[in-house]
Each structure stands twice: as structure tokens, then as C-alpha cells.
Amino acid sequence: MSSPSLQNLSNDLAAAAEAIGPSVVAVHGQHRIPSSGIQWRKDVIVTVNHGIRRNEDISILLGPEKSVPASLAGRDPSTDLAILKLTVGAKLPLPEVADALSVKLANFVLALGRSWRGNLVASFGMVGGLSGEWQTWHGGKIDQHIRLDLELYPGFSGGPLVNADGKVIGINTRGIARGRAVTIPATTVNRVVDELLEKGHITRPYLGVAMQPVAVPASLHSKLKPGLSNGLIIVHVEPSGPADRAGILLGDILVELQGRPLESVESVQKILSSARVGDKISATLLRGGSPAELAVTLQDRQTR
């Protein structure tokens, strides 16, 4: 790349930071290191859920020595997103959001955030990996996998990823990909923000059990469908939860849900991600060495 081209790129990135920077805030919602955030809707700040450790006494730094109070309006641990409402109008600008299809592998990008003092800070890199829809280990659906090849410093989580055109691609985090720096795309952010503003939480079905993978004893294979040799043993049943109401007991071994084999806890989350609250799903289990069939009516964890 020639020197004039590098200078043009440098100028474009500086202009992008200047354009989006006024929308970026520091979020003091936990002890020690703050997270970052950005005004996504009027007086609505999007940040990361793992950066909010308390429900009250949250403050927002708009810049050095410019602090305003905020209240928690909702959170979604499965996508690591939380939204705050400014209790005092701050007149922050709304950022321009990029079309998800415009994101390309190896695009140069900026991660923006604010330091604990409220100074705007940046980290430069590129889109290091790009693929389709994926599911977090908490069961959240992310519309696009955007892996970052840049240093996401402490406090940057919750801040925006910005392209060279000065548009926001999404929200950066280390909280959903086993510590790797990824970006939650704007389409996912919009979907989560809409539901959190409407309901205060994400409606998501759950079973109400804790499980661990186990191998089904060879002597029991003949009692199950061919190929079913693994399952999930129930180690805890939440009182009055969906599984408890369906009659699932401690020590049962789940081998199928909706006719699909269960190899891991993640396989349960994948099945539940396509279900809805109120759906009745079939469960095949082993109890005392004998197979049993039960129907489980899914509930919402927040409203059961």
C-alpha cells in the first residue's frame, strides 16, 4: 500500500472515531474496571451484561468529568447485552449503523471505548473471521459470527466496532466466546434491544434442570433406538420448573428431545432455541434401566 493510501486510510479511521466517539460512553456498573457502551436509541445505552454487576447506582461517563445517572432497563446474559436508560437527557448523537452484509473478511476496523476517566480510546485491527449464525454457550442466537483480530483492552467490551466509513458494525465483547474478542452484529443488537425495551427480559424457553453427559450402559442399548449410546443425567431439578411439572426426576438419563439424540448440554440448548414458550416437547429418558416417554411444556424462566 502506497504512502498516500496509508495516509488516506489513517484519515478515514480518525474521521470515523470522531464521528462515532460522541455516542460512546463509559459505564460504571461494577467494581474496578468499567465497561463501555453506546447510545443505540434516544436515551438508551447498549452495553455488555457482564459489565453490569449491580442493578442500581449505575453511572455513565459521557466524557472526562461528565457523569450522568442511568437505570438498568433489561439484560440478556445469553447474548451478553444489557440496556440502560439515561435518567437525565444527555443529548448524545445517534450513530449510523452499517448493513450486516457490508462486513467483509479482513476489513480494517476500530474498536472504540472510554477509559474509567471518560476519555475516548481506540484499538485498530481487522475482521479476522466471518461466518454465519451461531449460538453462545448460554444459548443465545447471534446472527453472524464476527471474530476480531485486534486487542480488545479491559473496559472496551460494550463499545462499538466501527468501519472506515464511520458506521457501527455491532457491539464488542469478550463475554460470549470463551474470552475471544467478537462483535455482536447490529441485527442481533436491534432484536435484543426491541424485546428488552418491551418486556425487560428475553422470552426464552427452558427445562429447569442441571445435566451432565454420561454414557448409556451397553446392557441398555437394546432398549433404545439404534445409535443412542449417550445421554444427559439429571443432577438437579428446579422445583415447579417445566421438567419438575412433567415428572422428570433426579437421576433420570435424558437420551432424546423431540426425537433428537442428546450428546451434550449444548444439544439441548440448540433444540430449545427453535422452540417457543408454551410448546410441548417430547422427552425420552431412562429411569431405573427402563425407557420412558414424557411431555414437557416449556416455560419462560422469567415469568413461570
Query: What is the structure's pLDDT at 160?
Result: 98
Give the integer Cα–Cα distance in Å for 110 and 263.
39
End-to-end CA distance of the chain: 59
Strands 253-257 and 230-237, how do they pair?
antiparallel
Q: Is 80 a catalytic residue?
A: yes
Gap between the Cα atoms of 210 and 212, Å rounded: 7
CATH 2.30.42.10 residue window(s) in the chain: 205-300
pLDDT value of position 5? 86
Q: Is position 157 annotated as part of the catalytic site?
A: yes
Q: What's the pLDDT at 2?
A: 62
What was the pLDDT predicted at 269? Answer: 84
Give the C-alpha separation, 159 to 46, whole Å. 8
In the annotation, is 36 catalytic? no
pLDDT of residue 303: 42
Instruction: Indicate the fold that domain 205-300 takes in CATH.
Output: Pdz3 Domain (2.30.42)
Output the pLDDT for position 304. Answer: 38
Q: What is the pLDDT along the chain (304 residues), one digit of tens a residue?
A: 567 788 998 999 999 999 999 999 999 998 888 999 999 999 999 999 999 998 889 999 999 989 999 999 999 999 999 999 998 777 899 999 998 889 999 999 999 999 999 999 999 999 999 999 998 877 788 999 999 999 999 999 999 999 999 999 999 999 998 889 999 999 999 999 999 999 888 888 999 999 999 999 999 999 999 989 999 999 999 999 999 999 999 999 999 999 999 988 888 988 988 888 999 999 999 999 999 999 999 998 764 3
Determine the Cα–Cα distance for residues 244 and 33; give it in Å rounded to an integer: 40
Q: Which of 76, 80, 143, 252 is catalytic?
A: 80
What's the pLDDT at 202?
87
Of these residues, 78, 115, 157, 252, which one is catalytic? 157
Rounded to whole angstroms, the Cα distance separating 188 from 190 reads: 5
Name the architecture of domain 3-199: Beta Barrel (2.40)
pLDDT of residue 127: 97
β-strand pairing of 280-287 with 290-297: antiparallel
Query: Which secondary structure element, helix H or strand E, spans residue 190, and what is its range?
Result: helix 186-199
Quick check: helix, strand or coil at residue 283?
A: strand
Q: Which of 35, 50, 143, 252 is catalytic?
A: 50
Q: What is the DSSP string of 40-61?
A: EETTEEEEEGGG---SSSEEEE
User: Where along the chain do the CATH 2.40.10.120 domains lie?
Assistant: 3-199
pLDDT of residue 46: 98
Query: How far is it, in rounded angstroms, from Cα 302 to Cα 132?
Result: 29
Q: What is the pLDDT of residue 115?
A: 95
Q: What is the model's pLDDT at position 1? A: 59
